Chains A and B, each alone.
Chain A
Amino acid sequence: MAINSNFSISKIIKWSYADTSIAPLVVFRIIFGLMMFAGTLRFWLKGWIHDFFILPDHFFHYYGFEWVKPMGEFEMYTIFSLLLISSLFIALGFFYRTSSILFFLLFTYVELIDVTNYLNHYYFISLVSFLMCLLPANRFFSCDVLRCPEKALKYIPNWTVAILKFQLGLVYFFAGLAKLNYDWLFDAMPMSIWLQAKTHWPLVGTYFTEKWVAYGLSWMACIFDLTVAFLLLSKRFRPFAYLTLVIFHVITGLMFPIGMFPWIMILVTLIFFSPDFHEKIIAFIRLIFNLKQATSLGHNSLALAGFKKKFLTGFLFIYVIVQMLLPFRYLTYPGDLFWTEQGYRFSWRVMLIEKAGTAFFYVTDPETGNRGEVKNCDFLTPNQEKMMATQPDLILQYAHIIKNEVESRGLKDPIINAQVYVTLNGSRSKLFIDPEVDLTTLQDDFKPKDWILDN
């Protein structure tokens, strides 16, 4: 991109504020709201509110968000009720601004409670719901417009749709970039492991043991991720790209326990289609629900000017830059990213590695010299234990959780070591961190963790 010339920047800005149809944004709003409703309901019905936020005795914090704590049972269920209501309101465009802000805040709060629940998918939802707070997605075909018809818009600035396309494209592109590594491309790992577990699949299953199948799928997934966003932008390749996208997500949805994510992606990427297409969807919804055409179609467009416009331009610019740089922060750390996971999160590294660990923690009483192995289930849920065992920052947090527990029971200044064995992409289990280091003497920060052993 030729960002180095002022001329093209001003051209981009000009284009950003030029009019486009509101229809794609409106359809996106409806799909997003409904999918969030379904996802939240699913989470609730699976009993995960209890399992993830009520059951655990301890929670793993995000750096800088130590103050985020879960609330009681009643409050957590209330929060999820509000998520259900606000997501439905988003779909309906009913008190849209309030609903979208509420949804963003509550969803993000829930995600910040425990790092061991981190999924790129949830991060994606947080980002999109944040963007939705800024977008005029309720200004057409919504309850808000029904209440105040004068608010109806037919045209909105290009950036409102473009920022969502950017966000979606980013997920794919960076997921593709992340696949450009030796294991993925030249060892077909961890694809081979994943396929091995699916050899019972009818018809195709027998081929899953073939190395060339694993290589083929690895390369195809990589090429797909890198190119799909660009192909979706091109009118000519869009139908082909979208069909590929549907097939890709259906396959991953069948292969991995990734919940709603594939289906969400299949639907939200419809935003890449033309305004015409989305106007037809709206017309179709009207037809099904027998909704009357609004009397005033609202031909006006959203005009922004002065400080508001400058602020928005600056803000969007920073948002885009940060989003593009964040996945590269791992470059500032030494060592193998997949092994140390320093700078791993928030970077769209989705279904990329197969990693598992077993962590034995030992507490030593400095006075008596008594040393014993910690029973991890005294403090953690099986899910937390599993997540902690492969991520150094969580291992450190857990050591401090143990320290606090032990000190509250009267043992002062315990020495805590951990023997952690980790296997990455099917390799031999290796010692992950220095088993001699007293973890209580360390604090988490952004500096490289020199107590992680080499892979």
Chain B
Amino acid sequence: MKAGGFLAMKRFLCLYGVVLGFLFLPSCGPEEPPIDSFEYGDLFENVADNMIVPRYAQFQSNLLALQARLNAFDASDVQTLISLQEQFKATYLSWQSVSAFEFGPAAEYSALLRINCNSFPALTDTIEENIQFGTYNLDFPSNYQAKGLPAFDYLLFHADQNELLLELNDPSRIAYLQDCLADMQGRVDEVVNAWDSYRDIFVSSYGNDQSSSLSLLFNYFLYDYEQIKRNKFALPAGFATSFGIPIAMDTSKVEGFYSGKSFELIHANLTALESVYLGIGENGIDGIGIYEMLKAYNAISTVVDGDLSEAIADQFVLCKELVNQFANDLPYEIVNNISQVQETSNELQKMVPMIKNDMRSYFSVTVTLGDSDGD
């Protein structure tokens, strides 16, 4: 009788084991993507093939063109200065379209594009010292703000054309610009090449954990947006803090201070994010974007009435409009028109909960590292 009970028990436990084993298998996957990986694949493919890769290529070719203008620069010919300046502006605008993709190849230590290409405001004293002594290592963190696009911005725009022509007659200044350019080119070339193979990894990723494409795309989208709000707007306008200490207004902290194109750069940055959101590729084709994903969820906004996908799209339009409404560049407006700057800042801020809370919750993107029980 005992043996019989034993057998029955054994059978029960075996069955139990099989059932449990079956149950445990998908237990690795409670952090599954909320919509199936096929659809995410569409989003990732569109973003990679029609945005990230062509945008990096554009930035790369802009740097090449900048190199050509720099090589062709002749301190006795003001036209060559103007064409160099024009190409720099185009390059700076083109940077705005890749700054949101600081993951994968761009986040490699040898690349770190954002910090190496666009740490502003420029440390002009460091730049001058570097040029004067000629002994500098641009890889040092102490030089982050003395190179890249802000260094160009300073060296090519900080004085009037005649003065600049005089200054740039000094070969060490040109050499410094060439070094800064080569530094950026090396990093961007690396990123462009790495995307050849990273593209397939990016596109085929599924899930929403920390290292998933969904999480990377979302988090750096948000990060890039918050950079606009804080570094490009709040910091110079005196709305920000540094480790909690309120920082006084300092208009020299705007992006592109010397070339006087802050609003244009901010506008370009917003437009770049907006087209990632809408899924509009560099070829102009409107494909699958975050907008379409939110639509598919019937996502509701908690910040304004109605549909989340529309609310975010509208907010992008509104923010771009507000940025466009300023008659002068940001430093002037900060000093003379702070209330309108504040109003624009408020509208920029309104977007944050829409992205950070609403969008994240519909995508179930994990910011939270650990488990949750929903409280």
Interface residues of chain A, those whose CB is within 8 Å of chain B, are 46, 48, 51-52, 117-121, 193, 196-200, 209, 246, 250, 253-263, 266, 280-281, 283-284, 287, 341, 344-345, 349-358, 360, 363-365, 368, 370-375, 378-379, 382-383, 386, 402, 405-406, 409-411, 414, 421, 423, 426-429
Judge whether B125 is part of the interface by a CB distance below 8 angstroms: no
Which of B24-32, B56-64, B266-274, B314-322 forms part of the interface with chain A? B24-32
Whether the Cβ atoms of B247 and A119 lie closer than 8 Å is no
Judge whether B186 is part of the interface by a CB distance below 8 angstroms: no
CB distance from A433 to the nearest CB of B (A): 15
28 pairs of residues in contact across A and B, judged by CB atoms under 8 Å: A117-B370, A209-B298, A246-B19, A254-B26, A258-B371, A258-B373, A259-B370, A263-B23, A341-B375, A345-B375, A354-B374, A355-B375, A357-B357, A358-B356, A364-B246, A370-B238, A371-B246, A374-B241, A374-B244, A379-B244, A382-B368, A405-B244, A406-B245, A409-B245, A411-B246, A414-B244, A421-B357, A429-B353
Whether the Cβ atoms of A257 and B30 lie closer than 8 Å is yes
Q: How many angstroms between the C-alpha atoms of A364 and B246 in the bound complex?
A: 7
Residue of A260, A281, A344, A372 touching B239 (CB-CB under 8 A): A372
Classify chain B's interface size.
Answer: 35 or more
Known: A356-B357, A356-B361. Contact between A196 and B302, CB under 8 A?
Answer: no
CB distance from A252 to the nearest CB of B (A): 9
Please encode chain B, from 1 to 24, with 1 for each CB lying within 8 Å of some chain A CB and 0 for all others.
000011001100100000110011
Residues of B within 8 A of A352 (CB): 374-375
* Residue among A119, A373, A379 with max Cβ neighbours from chain B (10 Å): A373
Q: How many angstroms between the C-alpha atoms of A48 and B371 in the bound complex?
A: 10
A-B contacts besides A246-B23, A363-B246, A379-B243, 8 pairs, CB < 8 Å? A198-B34, A257-B30, A258-B371, A258-B372, A283-B6, A370-B238, A375-B241, A405-B243
CB distance from A248 to the nearest CB of B (A): 12
* Residue among A121, A200, A341, A357 with max Cβ neighbours from chain B (10 Å): A200
Residues of B within 8 A of A256 (CB): 30, 372-374
Known: A200-B35, A259-B371. Contact between A423 and B302, CB under 8 A?
Answer: yes
Residues of A within 8 A of B34 (CB): 197-198, 200
In chain B, residues 29-53, which have Cβ atoms closer than 8 Å to a Cβ of chain A?
29-36, 39
7 nearest A-B pairs in the assembled complex, by CB-CB distance: A259-B371, A372-B246, A372-B241, A423-B302, A370-B246, A358-B353, A280-B9
Whether the Cβ atoms of B370 and A48 lie closer than 8 Å is yes
Whether the Cβ atoms of B368 and A383 lie closer than 8 Å is yes
* Residue among B9, B13, B369 with max Cβ neighbours from chain A (10 Å): B369
Please encode chain B, from 342 to 375, with 1 for each CB lying within 8 Å of some chain A CB and 0 for all others.
0000000100110011101110101111111111
Residues of B within 8 A of A368 (CB): 246, 248
Q: How many angstroms between the C-alpha atoms of A118 and B371 in the bound complex?
A: 10
Q: How many angstroms between the C-alpha atoms of A183 and B305 in the bound complex?
A: 20
CB distance from A20 to the nearest CB of B (A): 20
* Residue among B32, B356, B372 with max Cβ neighbours from chain A (10 Å): B372
In chain B, residues 327-351, which have Cβ atoms closer than 8 Å to a Cβ of chain A?
349
Q: How many angstroms between the C-alpha atoms of A193 and B241 in the bound complex?
A: 36
Residues of B within 8 A of A246 (CB): 19, 23
Judge whether B297 is part of the interface by a CB distance below 8 angstroms: yes
CB distance from B241 to the nearest CB of A (A): 4
Residues of B within 8 A of A354 (CB): 361, 374
Residues of A within 8 A of B367 (CB): 382-383, 386
Judge whether B90 is part of the interface by a CB distance below 8 angstroms: no
Whether the Cβ atoms of B243 and A372 lie closer than 8 Å is no
Known: A284-B13, A421-B303, A429-B303. Contact between A372 and B373, CB under 8 A?
Answer: no
Residues of B within 8 A of A427 (CB): 302
Whether the Cβ atoms of B374 and A351 lie closer than 8 Å is yes
Whether the Cβ atoms of B245 and A411 lie closer than 8 Å is yes
Whether the Cβ atoms of B371 and A261 lie closer than 8 Å is yes
Whether the Cβ atoms of B369 and A51 lie closer than 8 Å is yes
CB distance from A40 to the nearest CB of B (A): 13
Whether the Cβ atoms of A284 and B246 lie closer than 8 Å is no
Chain B residue with the shortest CB-CB distance to A249: B23
Whether the Cβ atoms of B375 and A349 lie closer than 8 Å is yes
Whether the Cβ atoms of A48 and B35 lie closer than 8 Å is no
Judge whether B65 is part of the interface by a CB distance below 8 angstroms: no
Whether the Cβ atoms of B36 and A121 lie closer than 8 Å is no
Known: A258-B371, A405-B243. Contact between A426 and B35, CB under 8 A?
Answer: no
Whether the Cβ atoms of B240 and A373 lie closer than 8 Å is yes
Residues of B within 8 A of A118 (CB): 375
Residues of A within 8 A of B240 (CB): 372-373, 375
CB distance from B11 to the nearest CB of A (A): 11
Q: How many angstroms between the C-alpha atoms of A379 and B245 in the bound complex?
A: 12
CB distance from B296 to the nearest CB of A (A): 9
Chain B residue with the shortest CB-CB distance to A39: B371
Chain B residue with the shortest CB-CB distance to A199: B35
Whether the Cβ atoms of A378 and B370 lie closer than 8 Å is no
Residues of A within 8 A of B117 (CB): none
Q: How many angstroms between the C-alpha atoms of A254 and B234 in the bound complex?
A: 42
Residues of B within 8 A of A254 (CB): 26, 29-30, 32
Q: How many angstroms between the C-alpha atoms of A428 and B29 in the bound complex?
A: 31
Whether the Cβ atoms of B373 and A426 lie closer than 8 Å is no
Whether the Cβ atoms of B303 and A258 lie closer than 8 Å is no
Whether the Cβ atoms of B369 and A372 lie closer than 8 Å is no
Residues of B within 8 A of A52 (CB): 369-370
* Residue among A257, A357, A406 with max Cβ neighbours from chain B (10 Å): A257
CB distance from A353 to the nearest CB of B (A): 7
Residues of B within 8 A of A281 (CB): 9, 13
Whether the Cβ atoms of A257 and B375 lie closer than 8 Å is no
Known: A363-B246, A386-B367. Contact between A350 and B374, CB under 8 A?
Answer: yes
Whether the Cβ atoms of B357 and A378 lie closer than 8 Å is no
Q: How many angstroms between the C-alpha atoms of A78 and B368 in the bound complex?
A: 25
Residues of B within 8 A of A197 (CB): 34, 297, 362, 364
Chain B residue with the shortest CB-CB distance to A283: B6
Q: How many angstroms between the C-alpha atoms of A428 and B302 in the bound complex?
A: 4
